Amino acid sequence: MSLMIANRQLMSVTQELTRTWDRTRESWKDPVSERIESRFIKVLHDDVRTAMTALEQMHEVMEEAVKELSTHEPAPYGKHDSGDSTPPPAQRPENS
């Protein structure tokens, strides 16, 4: 899943939660509902905004990384085969 898809889904479910909470608050106005809103709903909204900002920033970093990596030759991962079967000096066994 891309980061921007996750961001849109997070925004969508948060909007749905907000709509549902607003409808609930129309008929439920007491100290308990106020406490739920201040302790959970508002905190959740702040956390969601922070998460969405972080997802956007990660998306930008990933886009830049993909662009950067696409302009380079492939890295020599794994065994490097130069055709020479002699191990490098650090791996040669010492003769006594």
Single out the residue of 38, 46, 36 nearest to residue 14, CA to CA.
46
pLDDT of 68 reads 86
pLDDT of 83 reads 53
Find tokens 């959970």 and name the residue: 40
Single out the residue of 53, 54, 52, 48 nearest to residue 14, CA to CA.
48
Query: What is the percent of the chain with per-residue pLDDT over 70, rounded to a whole number?
Result: 75
Q: Which long-range contacts (C-beta less than 8 Å, at least 24 apart) are formed by 13-16?
A: 14/44, 14/45, 14/48
Give tens-digit pLDDT for 10-57. Answer: 999 999 999 999 999 999 999 999 999 999 999 999 999 999 999 999
Record the pTM.
Answer: 0.64
* 84 in Cβ contact with 42 (< 8 Å): no
Mean pLDDT, residues 77-87 taken together: 55
CA–CA separation, 46 and 37 (whole Å) = 12
The string of DSSP codes covering 3-18 is HHHHHHHHHHHHHHHH
